[in-house]
Structure 1
Amino acid sequence: MKRQSLVLLIKLLGIVIFLSSATIVAGSDELKRGLLEDILSQDNPGLFDDYGELQLAKTKMQTIIQGLDSREVTASTKAWVDILLRIIDDFELMVNESESSDPFDHINAVEAADRIDISINALNGYPNAERNGIPMLSMLALTRFYRAEAKFFEDAARNTGETKLKLDYERRSSIAYEKGSMPSDASRMAFESRRNERIYDRDMKSASEYINAARVQRDKAIAQSSEFFGSDFMSILKARDSFESAKGLYERHNDKELENVKGIEEEIKDAYQRLMLDALLRVGIYLLILSFIVVILWQEFKKWGEELDDTRLGEELIV
């Protein structure tokens, strides 16, 4: 009997707990009070100074909740309040990250902005929030943030010497201007990106062709297949000129590919020095042979001169 009474008591307690929790979700003073506490506890003075739209959205939200009857505060009400509170928290984190001078942090900030954009769109599904302009105010703040990031990436593109980064920043600037409702600036940055990309692709194609030509001429010089020494030397000079042309293009764009082809430059230098030593050795041998020939000829001329003098002396004696 006692056991049955205990089971019955546990069941009744469970029903009471269930009804209590259901009451909190379905509309009650507790739910309303809890939402107001959450709203009032969120204090972001620095953020609200920069983005007054968010402060206005929060004030409107507080006014709406205060004006609702407890029975009107439902799970749906809690859902959109939680979304807006989360938007404000995420917005503060995003703005703090965007204060860095590191472009990577700004890339993360823009990605966070895209997630906030999804949350704002979710707010549009709640009539009470939409009717009071809360999604619109949040979007105005986000639009201003996108514009600031677009300007940051535009400046970053102008200040970097690496063309690959410049193209990336220009594209990001164009996208951010578009999301910031500045279509003319978005088009301008997109045009600059396409123009610079065409120049970059053209120069990189030329650089690749120069590198291939340098490799061919280098291999030809190293192989020393020609019987004519000057041909090998001309090949290494052509290889050096081709590499210098490619190097100039890589340096113009501050492209990291230059590091990958540095080995070719060293091989060309080594081959050039070896051929120069060979050339000096050959010239030395030629000069030595020439000197030997000159000495022989000089001796012959000297001998011939002495014989000529003897002949003249004999003729004079006969006379």
Structure 2
Amino acid sequence: MNKRIVALIAVFIASLIYAINYTIAKEVMPLHIKPFAFIFLRVAGATIFFWTIGLFIKQQKIEKEDYKKILLAAFFGTALNMLTFFKGLSLTTPISASVIMVTSPIMVLIFSSILIKKPIERQQVLGILIGLIGAILLITYGNSNTGNAINSNLGNFLVFINAASYGLYLVLAKNLIVKYHPIVFVKWLYLFGLIFVIPFSYNELIEVSWQTIPIKMYWNIGYVVLFTSCITYLFNLYGLSKLKPTTVSIFIYLQPVLTTIYALIVGSDSLNLVKVSATIVIFFGVYLVTKKAKIRITS
């Protein structure tokens, strides 16, 4: 089979895994395991996985000054990012959470402008404003009648913080990802992230009643730890090795669609006018942000 086709399939599967994760993780939280305890399991599992994989690749020494950069990237890309995401998901619905996550490209542009002085064009400024309006609309008025949405407003806001944190992480980690082997980088990223996560997760972790958790929920936990945290990374890594980064990034827009389809099939969420309207507004804003501006020819 053509390597490009295989790469496209791999990236699609990764997007599908992410999309299903919203509903799978939601079934576990907060009834069986609280969000911060769940994040400990996820980060600890990923840390063990990638340090084990790291034994089979060529060793690469991390420069001393880069440990601080990885530590900062781990805080925003693992700790704050995951803690706010799972806490927010436990309070809101899968569809709302997946839509808000699409604002990540907007946040990347904002932080790139602030930290590395990347110029923002007029069209992109308009896209940022439109995208943020869509996010605010969903956060403020995206309440759901679905019973598993405890506090949609707060949950949606926390997922937005997660998207912003992940956007900042991508800017901070850009040079590190190029400098080091991906597995070497990510194993240190998760290890430092685990150190940040432990203080927040300890109390919730000791509250877990493991013997009362249904077998199905253990499968859900395994799915999140193994597939969402580890397999998706490897699939996306393979995709990036065969495809353009822009091609891979397009698949993030598939996630809300796939999440919505799966959530509606299993009955874990429902659609309403606000969700649909906010989704359209956010997607239009992201389109303006990511669309390449036309080159002006002056005579």
Q: TM over 0.5, yes or no?
A: no
Q: Greater relative contact order (Cα 8 A, min sep 6): structure 1 or 2?
A: 2
| TM-score, L = length of structure 2 | 0.29
* Higher radius of gyration, 1 or 2: 1
